[in-house]
Structure 1
């Protein structure tokens, strides 16, 4: 939690911004301390997120920016730009529509009038700041349900442990220039990747998905806006998956994989059941260097090389923020694993191998 910023004598009142999302992009509302709009709401297409950040910075360093918990793809970029970002949880806001967030003005108003109830986000903790224990509890409660789906071939965390194969996966993109740089490295080494793409970004940068397909990588679903799945109603979750599937198919020119990665790995038994009923195959991981916290390229590479086992699925990111360290770490990761006798495969091939051996 945090308290309302001070209003020292002689300073301008604090402005409050709210960012909403819809199928067409983002809406920004900015309110003054008295609740009046400082400017008319501004609209930004998904490809213009950088312009939106510049627009917000124009309100000065005292601006308080609020997002809601179904918008998990902007906070890293906002904080990297020096903005103060808070998360407004559902109990502080009106009901959401079936697809999209509550209006930007409602989010800004929550920041203005209820700021102590919002959570100030921390760059190294991300959108889930303050909810880590809750997410861990959800995950723990899903152990049996996940095991059941894994036995049925509807979930995967790793492949066979007796084959020196490893899958590199990339979440939250596409996002220039980092997605293109990741693709450059993979192309140079002839290594396949599995990209779990966000629908909003796929709509913004279809050329990146087309290149993924051309290079033989797997394009898979990571929701439209990177929400906390346990907070969604079933119909809202379904819309997230279906809209993203459509955007991925349109951008890449082919139907996406059935693989689906839940944002943050957040899940409950009910969510896993819903996902299974959509025909999705839940794709998790067993190696995560937390590259999104930007611990340094050498640290990212070292963690991966230390933790990979036969059949490992490695979680990396090509979107959501500055991914230059991930790009810089990739050559050392690839060369180190090749030297250790590993073969790189996509998640689908990794799991097909494991499934075949299980059936035998």
Structure 2
């Protein structure tokens, strides 16, 4: 089975850089057919607190019980778009953080708040441990929700742009350990969604994650923000790729995605001018 990957390269074992292409898909496995997403999604009513789901919607398992995969929202007529941000940090990057490298991006989160843009942050457990106050702040703000990006940001199938690989029997532990680390910070808006480091997976990994009962969330729009230095180019790539129901992948890591906040500041008003509304992944999945 062909591995699904995001187009790009790994620098320093941490963050995947996306190319100019807006299509990050290889051959899709049978359970990832986006046309059946609406039929498999189970939507739940919103809670009293604005933007926080009582029980976040998930997708039913794919063929043979494989973990389901969402690449784009099921409603293709409503002009909604979900901005998602990967908070990447590998398990062995602590010394780099201690030396002053910034794997966080508080300016980006502050900008999303000022613009009142709901968003989903796919957080590694290692990032949550390095920045617990920020994780708690994001995870207690009804504007946001936190999803799982593994504990270590190691690949779940290889090759995956040079990322160290997780052993098959440790995949379950990677997901559980990340959820535990995130919740220990005091974050409450934690949703049962998972994004594969590097975007790399195959049927074996989907089978291994099945007991976790998560929905794997990929994307249909690659922002190209990783390692980019031209915010206008990143913004244009997003604007060129967005369609109703789109999932945009960006990053919340200053050292490896330094112009993301500037790009977002350009993207948001333009998409609103085009009639788009911003939603979290849980709201996108609910259709």
TM-score (normalizing by structure 2): 0.71
Identify the residue that residue 201 of structure 1 maps to in structure 2: 127
Q: Secondary structure at the match of 1:247?
A: helix
Identify the residue that residue 284 of structure 1 maps to in structure 2: 218
Residues in 2 aligned to 1:296 and 1:270: alpha-carbon distance in whole angstroms: 38
Is it true that 1:143 corresponds to 2:69 in the alignment? no
**Once the two structures are superposed, what CA deviation does each residue of 1:287-341 show, in whole Å capped at 9, x if it has no partner?**
0022103151000000111110000010000127333211111111101111110
What pairs with 1:69-148 in structure 2 (closer than 5 Å)?
74-75=12-13, 139-140=26-27, 142-147=28-33
Q: Secondary structure at the match of 1:220?
A: strand
Identify the residue that residue 264 of structure 1 maps to in structure 2: 198
Give RMSD over aligned pairs: 2.7
What pairs with 1:34-45 in structure 2 (closer than 5 Å)?
none
Which one has more relative contact order, counting CA pairs under 8 Å at least 6 apart?
Answer: 2
Unaligned stretches of 5+ residues in structure 1: 1-71, 78-122, 127-134, 354-360
Between the two proteins, the alignment pairs up a number of residues equal to 226
Q: Is this contact kept in 1: 2:86–2:251, CA < 8 A?
A: yes
Cα shift at 1:156:
1.1
Q: Secondary structure at the match of 1:319?
A: coil
Identify the residue that residue 157 of structure 1 maps to in structure 2: 71
Identify the residue that residue 104 of structure 1 maps to in structure 2: none
Q: Greater Rg, structure 1 or structure 2?
A: 1
Spell out structure 1 runs of 4+ moving beyond 4 A: 123-126, 148-151, 173-178
Residues in 2 aligned to 1:351 and 1:269: alpha-carbon distance in whole angstroms: 22
Q: Is this contact kept in 2: 1:212–1:219, CA < 8 A?
A: yes
Cα shift at 1:73:
8.4
Q: Secondary structure at the match of 1:248?
A: helix
Q: Closer, same or farther in 2 for the Cα pair 1:204/1:287, shift >3 Å?
A: same
Q: Closer, same or farther in 2 for the Cα pair 1:261/1:281, shift >3 Å?
A: same
Is it true that 1:339 corresponds to 2:254 in the alignment? no
Q: Is this contact kept in 2: 1:74–1:320, CA < 8 A?
A: no
Residues in 1 aligned to 2:258 and 2:186: alpha-carbon distance in whole angstroms: 24
Cα shift at 1:227:
1.1
Q: Is this contact kept in 1: 2:129–2:181, CA < 8 A?
A: yes
Residues in 1 aligned to 2:188 and 2:279: alpha-carbon distance in whole angstroms: 20
Residues in 2 aligned to 1:249 and 1:194: alpha-carbon distance in whole angstroms: 16
Unaligned stretches of 5+ residues in structure 2: 1-9, 41-58, 60-67, 90-100, 158-164
What pairs with 1:169-180 in structure 2 (closer than 5 Å)?
169-173=84-88, 176=102, 178-180=104-106
Task: Flag the structure with higher helix content.
Answer: 1
Q: Secondary structure at the match of 1:252?
A: coil
Residues in 2 aligned to 1:218 and 1:225: alpha-carbon distance in whole angstroms: 20
**Once the two structures are superposed, what CA deviation does each residue of 1:11-30 show, in whole Å capped at 9, x if it has no partner?**
xxxxxxxxxxxxxxxxxxxx
Residues in 1 aligned to 2:103 and 2:195: alpha-carbon distance in whole angstroms: 23
Residues in 2 aligned to 1:343 and 1:73: alpha-carbon distance in whole angstroms: 33
Q: Secondary structure at the match of 1:242?
A: helix
Q: Closer, same or farther in 2 for the Cα pair 1:329/1:255, shift >3 Å?
A: closer
The partner residue of 1:245 within 179, 184, 200 is 179
Identify the residue that residue 189 of structure 1 maps to in structure 2: 115
Q: Is this contact kept in 1: 2:77–2:244, CA < 8 A?
A: yes
Q: Is this contact kept in 1: 2:224–2:250, CA < 8 A?
A: yes
